[in-house]
Amino acid sequence: MSVLEKLTAIPREIVIGLVVIAMIIPTLNPLGLPIMTGQMAKDWYNAVEELPAGSVVLFDIGYGSGGYPSLGPANIAVFHQFFDKELKVIIMATALEGSMMYPLIMDAVNPETRHGAVYGEDYVFLGYIAGVQTAMAGVLGDLPAIVSTDYLGTPIGQIEVLNGIRGAQDIDVVGYLTTAGGTSEGWVYQAYSAYGLPVLGGFLSMMTTSMKPYYDTGQLIGVIDGVKGAADMEYLTGYPGDAIQSSDVLSFSQTLVVIFIIVGNISYWGSRGARKEGE
């Protein structure tokens, strides 16, 4: 077997082992590479910066354990910005595991200690509401008719931040982070299309291509695309976290993937040429 033919048949265990090593080494020895922020994340950041204090944000935690490594850091950075700006945040979850993400995010954000925000006065969590787009249409259409208590069972009449919030007409901006295409499109349909509300969309990087048309037509005024968008938000908000740290690691692991692709192609074409010569 020639060298080129051997290069086309590197065992799976070696490829995967090298990938794991490429992830571990930069985690142990971070490079601290600079972040070049994308325009979509800048638009999200600037849109929130322009909101006056006291503006009402409806935020959907539309991801679960699968999206937590990428979108969790983004969620933390986003909430830091919301509380820095003294916005009123109504949090809901259209994902089954969204209400399990909430305590994890809030432990990291610590709004009471770091931002002086008070639960019930400055923010509230409505919990998981089944139905995805039905839940969205319900909350935006007539919130008090749909939701009677918050996540902890407190009647909404006793929650100050929800006083006077009837639906879309009392909400200034909608934001979401999700791993589901249906949820992502759903907020565009139910918030922007039905009520003309500005929408900030966050999702996995692999969903960016299919959601780009909404951003280009102004239906999404800002986008956080996966771990890259999360790193951008951490950088812009000034709250560095796991996403910026992950960016360093991506340098090694993705470079390794590029090397594998190039090696695979060189060895494929090289061995093909050698075989043709042999004939």
Considering only residues 159 through 218, tell me which ones interact with another protein, judged by CB under 8 A: 185-186, 188-190, 192-194, 204-206, 208-210, 212-214, 216-217
Q: Does 141 bind another protein (CB under 8 A)?
A: yes
Under DSSP, is residue 167 helix (H, G, I), strand (E, B) or coil? coil
| Least CB distance to another protein at residue 154 (A) | 11
The alpha carbon of residue 255 and the mean position of all alpha carbons in its chain are separated, in whole angstroms, by: 23
Among 36, 52, 53, 277, binds another protein (CB under 8 A): 36
Among 119, 120, 156, 263, binds another protein (CB under 8 A): 263
| Least CB distance to another protein at residue 44 (A) | 16
The alpha carbon of residue 200 and the mean position of all alpha carbons in its chain are separated, in whole angstroms, by: 11
| Least CB distance to another protein at residue 174 (A) | 14
Q: Is 113 exposed, middle or buried (0-12, 13-18, 19+ CB in 10 A)?
A: exposed
**Closest to 234 in 3D by CA, of 90, 109, 110, 123:** 109
* Stretch of 17-25, 109-117, 168-176, 232-240 lying at the interface with another protein (CB under 8 A): 17-25
Among 122, 225, 232, 234, binds another protein (CB under 8 A): 225
Q: For the packed helices 98-109 and 68-84, what is the interaxial angle rounded to 10 degrees?
A: 50
String of b and e for 203-219 (b: at least 16 CB within 10 Å)?
bbeebbeebeebbeeeb
Cβ proximity to another protein: between 151 and 172 the closer is 151
Q: Does 242 bind another protein (CB under 8 A)?
A: yes
| Least CB distance to another protein at residue 213 (A) | 4
Considering only residues 88 through 127, tell me which ones interact with another protein, judged by CB under 8 A: 96-97, 99-100, 103-104, 127
Among 5, 42, 43, 68, binds another protein (CB under 8 A): 68
**Closest to 203 in 3D by CA, of 238, 227, 177:** 177
* Stretch of 61-69, 75-83, 157-165, 232-240 lying at the interface with another protein (CB under 8 A): 61-69
Rounded distance, CA 41 to CA 225, Å? 8
* Enclosing H/E stretch for 181: helix 181-187
| Least CB distance to another protein at residue 86 (A) | 26
Cβ proximity to another protein: between 51 and 211 the closer is 211
| Least CB distance to another protein at residue 15 (A) | 5
Rounded distance, CA 145 to CA 30, Å? 51
**Closest to 227 in 3D by CA, of 38, 101, 94, 95:** 38
- Total number of residues that touch another protein (CB under 8 A): 96
